[in-house]
Copies of this chain bind each other. A is one copy, B any other.
């Protein structure tokens, strides 16, 4: 089997997820070098996964002669720059979401990728979740008919530290962005308008940091459908990820995912297990699928399923959602671009 030789920049939470996935579950991949400014951390990760080459400087990964493609897992504000550097080095790119908080920066990076003729895929892993893939197939097969109403429920088990909000761009940019991408993916249509009703109900510190933790976001799509996303930073029962698409011919929905399917009938009621607790468990399979598809596509020069433009659009919707929240009115996407 032809293997793709990969470098990874960033060995924080998502970096570790990708490295573990690539090493353990993607036979088409070989991780040849990794980098992180925190040399201590990168060394530990390298040892844990049997990767021989590691650096403190990300450039060393890009310049490594064996590296054919680079996976960007560094902080968001470095993404656009790294994309440009990797593209200019003539190597392929997998970049975590969001690409950047600025549309202009993203557009600049995409332009460099285009010029360099390399491939760029953005990390919307949920598109490769078996449940959501099935929903997408039902829409594409015509079984749902014309989409009328899209509903996404997306709730985290616990909020990140309040200070994270400043860095991440806030809830819409770091959490809901997955739902914005999913909304476009499932309906197969662009979002044209956003209205946000958001508030702080979980933790006042989040509010003090200028962010929200609970939201209902209404979407209008170019194809006439309407949609709604509901978010919370804290569901005491764990990670809650559901999709429903209602159309002229039927409705398809995907429920939460559970570690096993037992039921226990006792004198006080019927009981079953909580959903899988967080994204590393729930989306394990999607991370592996995503990387397999990326490697296959690079190896065989095939088109990628998530483009730079997909990264751009989801950030634009997040910006519109934030603007709608701040200005307390529906916001057209055309106001953002």
Binding site for B on A (CB under 8 A): 24-25, 27, 130-131, 133-135, 138, 143, 145-146, 148-149, 151, 153, 155, 195, 197-199, 201-202, 214-216, 218, 220, 224-228, 230, 232, 234-237, 240, 246, 248-257, 259-267, 269-274, 328-330
Contact = CB atoms under 8 A, between A and B. Distances in A.
B146 A201 contact: yes
B265 A274 contact: yes
Given A199-B226, A271-B271, A273-B269, A236 B216 contact: no
Copies in the assembly, this chain: 4
A148 B249 contact: no
Most buried by B among A134, A264, A328: A264
A89 to B, nearest CB: 30
Given A135-B262, A270-B272, A224 B252 contact: no
Contact of A214 (B135, B149, B236): B149
Given A134-B262, A253-B262, A149 B274 contact: no
Given A250-B265, A270-B274, A274-B270, A131 B260 contact: yes
A171 to B, nearest CB: 14
A264 B216 contact: no
Most buried by B among A27, A199, A214, A251: A251
A13 B331 CA distance: 42
B236 A218 contact: no
Given A24-B27, A224-B199, A236 B266 contact: yes
Contact of A248 (B198, B236, B240): B236
Nearest to A217: B218
